[in-house]
Chains A and B, each alone.
Chain A
């Protein structure tokens, strides 16, 4: 076996195989769920409303409003009777 044959069989063929696998993987793989672009103020907000709260924290009032019955009472009472005060701002 000449040096050229050795290089072809043990060098070029594995190299071609690896390249083929790499190209195949690149073509077929897609990010399953790309994240939405990071939001900056000034862009239009077209996402669903988000509500954040410290859900694991217990406050002295947790058991009062935690029950469905109480929540229902709040809903029927309307927002005006719930509000203690307000402030508004623009930027």
Chain B
């Protein structure tokens, strides 16, 4: 988990928590005890997630560039962690990745080589500036939504 990667990892059956097994397909199937907090559930409110989802959909539609958002530990070197994380994202070469490492207080923006004619480092920096304002107030989703909106607006430009 050092680089926050989302690729498939080999799981050893001995280290699994009680009530978890590795199925024949390699997926980990686990039970959740009634009344205890389910760690698989997202710690974000539903309306926040809808807001982010709509921002991602609109940005992807308007710019024809896929926007991906990653929240997780990027490791001691967030820049290297974000580089590694881009590989595992959908349409990596033609996408924009906004990676946030809350424990390192770091936000990283990466865009693929295939969209370098649409996105540039100035637009990536705009996204970071838009996000950090809300991040200082503790609002993760607000900052992400702002970054996605600002970046998609900068990509499409004022004419379209």
B73 with A79: CB separation less than 8 A: no
Q: Which of A38, A57, A81 is close to B60, meaning CB atoms less than 8 Å apart?
A: A57
A39 CA to B100 CA, complexed, in Å? 14
List, in ascending order, chain B residues with CB within 8 A of A42's CB. 138
Query: Which residues from 57 to 82 on chain A have a C-beta closer than 8 Å to any C-beta of chain B?
Result: 57, 59-62, 64-66, 74-75, 78-82
A11 CA to B80 CA, complexed, in Å? 73
B53 with A85: CB separation less than 8 A: no
A31 CA to B36 CA, complexed, in Å? 8
Chain B interface SS verdict (over half): mixed
Q: How many residues of B contact A (CB 8 A)?
A: 78
B69 with A74: CB separation less than 8 A: no
Interface centre among A44, A60, A83 (most CB of B within 10 A): A83
A32 CA to B94 CA, complexed, in Å? 41
Query: Which residues from 35 to 69 on chain A have a C-beta closer than 8 Å to any C-beta of chain B?
Result: 35-45, 47-57, 59-62, 64-66
Contact with A along B46-89 (1 / 0, CB 8 A): 00000011001101110011111111110000110011101111
Question: B37 at interface (Cβ–Cβ under 8 A)?
Answer: yes
A41 with B92: CB separation less than 8 A: no
List, in ascending order, chain B residues with CB within 8 A of A80's CB. 83
A36 with B43: CB separation less than 8 A: yes
For the complex of A and B, the 6 pairs showing the least CB-CB separation, nearest first, are A49-B72, A84-B116, A87-B124, A89-B128, A30-B35, A61-B94
